[in-house]
């Protein structure tokens, strides 16, 4: 059985549990990643000449050590052999698997490592889990990077650039325009290499990768990352980039087609080992020297110097580089004058690991600078969701940023092309702080005093709504109350149903349905063409981009919200399905499900899980209807029993003698109590209540038994149905009943949400001006008179 992508992530992260005892994530990641690497290489290259796997250096040799006292020492030897054979000394052999301080002593270490190796052995077979054109394990490695970065805390999480930011950078520097593997990309502070790989992945044929990283352990992570993403030829070197750049051509810095970086923010020690005003590589010539205790511009100028004359690049830096004064102001001025800054994208705060401060992407382009008239700015600071203790960009945020930047689309409060002359003028003086040029401040909700005093809804408030497709609805909803003010013609309680039922809203709903049907019709060949060897990432790119296009002209919809709907479904469900199909085809093989003790309790299927009840609705609707009917009767019976209990407790607890030791009413105690009081006329009321409760209890048992038998029979019929499904049936069920139905439902839910929101805003507007100041004054006077009268009757006089 192929492993789902989400299951791979879950099992990899679970494997970390066995190591958490003696170390934090900044340490145990070294063990997990090395085992993952060796397991991957052993599976993927078992019979390949690409990787040299010596005898005794396979993952299978680790499996033979399970339960042996010397397992740690022997794992070190296996990894050492593998490293030596593949020039990976100092890369994959840094973690000591015989470290008693971290892994425990004696049996504790043996059990911990045996469990870890067993998890990898039983859960993963990387020789088969790779869809053509996709990177299942590579994505899993990045998943681990993100998780480790999240847990590593402020001081140790900077080795990882959030995937969402890497995606934006890869697209805005137009890495997709490269058609040759010989095209180069460089990252002077590459960390674990995730940013480099995202840029290379954007190019149709990949890129030649160069990276430098100051930290040895992090460099090791980057090299393993390159291998796992099948970029073994990447050159990842160790040293301080500013003082000892390793990529040189004679006495000059090597220049690259693309250059990207997410350097440590505002590092104070950047100038150690160099003489900035006499830099041998001329990185600061004609620009100015960065402040002694802030290296942001040092990395930026190094990146620019490393770009070819037609090179493109991007760097992530704190917002301070856009407006700080003194030496940085002079550097900024010179950069603006050279027209090398193509754009600036302001990002949300608390996005990066290791810092909570907001950052920006400075997009660089040395090509056609003589024709560049301005800098394109985007304020994307508000587009994010909370994800634990960090903020995270969603798929829709990424798509919007890239679309707007690539097409230079100006959107109020979001994006703008700022002319160089405006940046240079006396007022701005080369300050690049985004709020100077894009006012993203949300306008205050201003109250109309005249409306509160004299009543009526201000026309200006009503006109602030988008009535482009609902002009007739507007005229129906409102009429003139007085000059400049309107009244609502519909009762507020009926507003929502009135709006949704209006002909223009129905027309809008039909357009939504038509747009979905058009999208479905156009993309059905793609859905129906999914088979073994399909490329999941390309599939979702095509169908999601087309969904954006189909919903791009709706008044109420934000097309990126619709895009997020399909991307959320992709991430939660469809991605796993397509990966499974790309590996095994449309197969619904069944597997046993077990409880936490390992006992088999039922069965299930990956592609069409039982919990979806798709097959039940399609083939066993009558049984399901009967089950629902009985379940409703059971619910009503249980409610009647509860009502009797509540009434009985209110009357000296009639059920006190019918309760067992646990305080719960039992059939035995209830029957015993009924026999005792059946002939006592003084306890007739209690007898009648208990007898009624006994009947309900019998009815509940009977209903429960019927439901259990029906569920058992349905499960048996369902099991048989799964076994007899033909591939054509499975294909139809998955595509139409599962995927398309779910996507359709989510779009309808969004449509319903927007209509409710529209109606809610109108209702709030009507309620705001429903009571005038004279009305409220009169009400206060009337209430005051009533209170005075009450006080007077009570003997109080003012």
pLDDT in tens, 192-217: 898 999 999 999 889 999 999 998 88
Q: In the predicted model, what is the mean pLDDT of residues 715-741?
A: 96
Question: In this structure, what DSSP letter does residue 49 have?
Answer: S
- What separation, in Å, do the N-terminal and C-terminal C-alpha atoms of the chain show? 87
Q: Which residues pair with 260 in a beta bridge?
A: 314
List the beta bridge partners of residue 345. 361, 378
Instruction: Tell me if 297 sits within 8 A of 321, measured CB to CB.
Output: yes
Structure tokens at 353: 């690991």
* Mean pLDDT in residue range 132-152: 62
Q: How large is the greatest C-alpha to C-alpha distance in the chain, in angstroms?
A: 112
Angle at alpha carbon of residue 454, lines to 448 and 455, rounded to 5°: 75
Res 785: pLDDT:
79
Q: Which residue has the tokens 């009943």?
A: 737
pLDDT score of 137 more than 80: no
Q: Please tell me the distance from the alpha carbon of residue 742 to that of residue 573, in angstroms, as a whole number.
A: 10
CA dist 543 and 523 (Å) reads: 6
- What span, in angstroms and rounded, lies between the C-alpha atoms of 394 and 784? 55
Q: Interhelix angle for 536-550 vs 503-528, to 10°? A: 160
pLDDT(337) > 50: yes
pLDDT of residue 156: 45
* Strand pairing report for 208-213 and 235-238: parallel
Phi then psi dihedrals of residue 488, to 5 deg: -85, 130
- What three-state secondary structure class fits 519? helix
Take residue 732 and report the two structure tokens written for it: 């139809």
Question: Mean of the per-residue pLDDT values for the chain?
Answer: 89
> What pLDDT score does 128 carry?
57
DSSP state letters, 338-395: HT-EEEEEEPPSS-STT--S-EEEEEEE-TTGGG--EEEEEE-TT--EEETTEEE--H
State the pLDDT at residue 374. 97
pLDDT, tens only, 350-391: 888 767 888 999 999 999 899 999 999 999 999 999 887 788
* Cβ contact 54:78 at 8 Å: no
Strand partners, 415: 378, 411
> Encoding tokens for residue 415?
């994006």
Length of the chain counted residue by residue: 798
Q: How confident is the model at residue 134 (pLDDT cuts 50, 70, 90)?
A: very low
Mean pLDDT of 469-494: 92
- For residues 764 and 461, the answer to whether their CB atoms sit within 8 Å is no
* Gyration radius from the chain CA atoms: 34
DSSP code per residue over 74-91: HHHHHHHHHHHHTT-TTT
Which of 52-56, 155-159, 655-659, 696-700 holds the top average pLDDT?
696-700
Share of the chain above pLDDT 70, in %: 92
- Cα–Cα distance for residue pair 336/425, rounded to 1 Å: 12
Residue 707 in contact with residue 609, Cβ under 8 Å? Answer: no
3-state helix/strand/coil string of 133-193:
CCCHHHHHHHHHHHHHHHHHCCCCCCCCCCHHHHHHHHHHCCHHHCCCCCCEEEECCCCCC
In angstroms, the CA 470 to CA 168 distance is: 37
413-427, 610-624, 761-775: range with lowest mean pLDDT: 761-775
Q: How many CA within 13 A on the CB side of residue 456?
A: 16
Q: Which two tokens stand for residue 321?
A: 């580089």
| pLDDT, average across residues 525-550 | 94
Indicate the pLDDT class of residue 132, thresholds 50, 70 and 90: very low
Supply the pLDDT for residue 138: 60
Under a CB-based contact definition with an 8 Å cutoff, are residues 227 and 37 in contact? yes
Average pLDDT over residues 48-64: 87
Supply the pLDDT for residue 250. Answer: 87
**Neighbouring C-beta atoms of residue 167, cutoff 10 Å:** 21
Q: Which helix (H) or strand (E) holds 125?
A: none
> Which position has the token pair 């593998």?
82
Tokens 């002077």 sit on residue? 188
C-beta of residue 292 within 8 angstroms of C-beta of residue 347: no
Q: Are 601 and 595 in contact (CB under 8 A)?
A: yes
Closest C-alpha among 216, 219, 217, 225 to residue 198: 225
Do 486 and 478 meet the contact criterion of CB atoms below 8 Å apart? Answer: yes
- As a whole number of angstroms, the distance between CA 790 and CA 774 comes to 25
| DSSP E strands, 233-352 | 235-238, 248-249, 252-253, 256-261, 307-318, 341-346
Distances (CA, A) of 130 to 5, 41, 623, 721: 10, 13, 40, 30
Which stretch of 111-125, 138-152, 411-425, 575-589 has the lowest confidence by average pLDDT? Answer: 138-152
């Amino acid at each position: 059985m192929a492993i789902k992508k989400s299951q791979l992530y879950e099992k990899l992260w679970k494997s970390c549990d066995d190591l958490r005892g003696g170390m934090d994530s900044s340490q145990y990641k070294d063990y997990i990643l090395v085992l993952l690497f060796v397991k991957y290489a052993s599976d993927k290259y078992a019979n390949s000449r690409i990787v040299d796997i010596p005898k005794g250096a396979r993952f299978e040799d680790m499996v033979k050590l399970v339960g042996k006292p010397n397992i740690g020492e022997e794992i070190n030897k296996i990894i050492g052999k593998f490293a030596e054979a593949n020039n990976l000394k100092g890369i994959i052999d840094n973690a000591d698997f015989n470290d008693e301080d971290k892994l425990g002593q004696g049996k504790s270490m043996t059990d911990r490592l045996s469990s870890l190796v067993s998890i990898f052995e039983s859960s993963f077979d990387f020789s088969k889990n790779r869809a053509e054109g996709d990177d299942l394990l590579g994505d899993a490695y990045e998943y681990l990077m993100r998780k480790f970065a999240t847990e590593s805390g402020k001081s140790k999480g900077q080795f990882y650039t959030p995937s969402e930011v890497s995606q934006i950078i890869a697209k805005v520097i137009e890495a997709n325009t490269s058609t040759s593997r010989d095209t180069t990309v460089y990252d002077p502070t590459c960390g674990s290499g995730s940013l480099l790989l995202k840029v290379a992945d954007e190019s149709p044929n990949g890129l030649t990768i160069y990276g430098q990283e100051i930290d040895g352990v992090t460099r090791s992570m980057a090299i393993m990352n390159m291998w796992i993403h099948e970029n073994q030829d990447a050159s990842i070197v160790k040293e301080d980039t500013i003082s000892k750049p390793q990529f040189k051509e004679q006495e000059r810095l090597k220049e690259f087609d693309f250059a990207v970086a997410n350097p440590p923010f505002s590092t104070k020690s950047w100038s150690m080992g160099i003489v900035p005003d006499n830099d041998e590589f001329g990185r600061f010539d004609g620009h100015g020297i960065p402040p002694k205790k802030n290296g942001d511009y040092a990395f930026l100028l190094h990146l620019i110097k490393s770009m070819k004359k037609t090179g493109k690049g991007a760097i992530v830096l704190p917002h301070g580089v856009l407006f700080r004064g003194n030496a940085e102001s002079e550097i900024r001025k010179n950069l603006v004058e050279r027209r090398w800054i193509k754009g600036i994208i302001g990002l949300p705060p608390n996005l990066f690991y290791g810092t909570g401060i907001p950052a920006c992407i400075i997009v660089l382009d040395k090509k056609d600078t003589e024709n560049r008239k301005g800098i394109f700015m985007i304020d994307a600071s508000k587009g994010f969701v909370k994800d634990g203790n960090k903020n995270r960009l969603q798929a829709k945020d990424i798509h919007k940023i890239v679309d707007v930047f690539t097409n230079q689309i100006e959107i109020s409060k979001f994006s703008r092309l700022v002319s160089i002359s405006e940046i240079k003028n006396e007022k701005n003086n080369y300050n690049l702080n985004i709020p100077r040029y894009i006012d993203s401040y949300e306008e205050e909700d201003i109250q109309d005093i005249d409306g509160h005093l004299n009543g009526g809804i201000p026309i200006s408030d009503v006109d602030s709504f988008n009535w482009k497709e609902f002009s007739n609805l507007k005229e129906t909803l409102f009429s003139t109350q007085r000059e400049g003010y309107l009244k609502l013609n519909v009762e507020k309680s009926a507003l929502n149903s009135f709006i949704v039922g209006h002909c223009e809203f129905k027309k809008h709903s039909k357009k939504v349905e038509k747009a979905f049907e058009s999208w479905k019709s156009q993309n059905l060949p793609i859905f129906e063409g999914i088979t073994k060897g399909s490329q999941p990432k390309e599939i979702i790119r095509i169908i999601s981009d087309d969904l954006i296009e189909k919903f791009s002209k709706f008044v109420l919809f934000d097309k990126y919200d619709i895009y997020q709907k399909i991307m959320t479904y992709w991430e939660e469900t469809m991605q796993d399905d397509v990966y499974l199909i790309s590996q095994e085809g449309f197969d619904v093989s069944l597997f046993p499900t077990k409880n936490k003790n390992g006992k088999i309790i039922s069965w299930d299927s990956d592609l069409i899980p039982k919990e979806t009840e798709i097959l039940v609705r399609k083939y066993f609707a009558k049984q399901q209807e009967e089950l629902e009917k009985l379940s409703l009767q059971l619910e009503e019976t249980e409610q009647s029993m509860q009502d009797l209990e509540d009434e009985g407790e209110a009357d000296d607890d009639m059920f006190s003698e019918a309760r067992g030791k646990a305080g719960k009413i039992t059939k035995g105690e209830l029957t015993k109590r009924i026999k005792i009081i059946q002939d006592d006329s003084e306890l007739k009321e209690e007898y009648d209540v208990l007898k009624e409760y006994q009947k309900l209890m019998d009815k509940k048992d009977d209903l429960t038994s019927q439901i259990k038998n029906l569920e058992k029979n349905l499960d048996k019929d369902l099991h048989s149905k799964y076994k007899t499904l033909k591939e054509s049936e499975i294909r139809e069920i998955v595509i139409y009943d599962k995927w398309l139905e779910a996507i359709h439902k989510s779009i309808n839910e969004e449509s319903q949400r927007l209509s409710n929101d529209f109606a809610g805003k109108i209702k709030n507007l009507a309620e705001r001006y429903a009571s005038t100041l004279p009305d409220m004054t009169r009400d206060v006077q009337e209430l005051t008179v009533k209170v005075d009268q009450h006080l007077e009757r009570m003997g109080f006089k003012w």
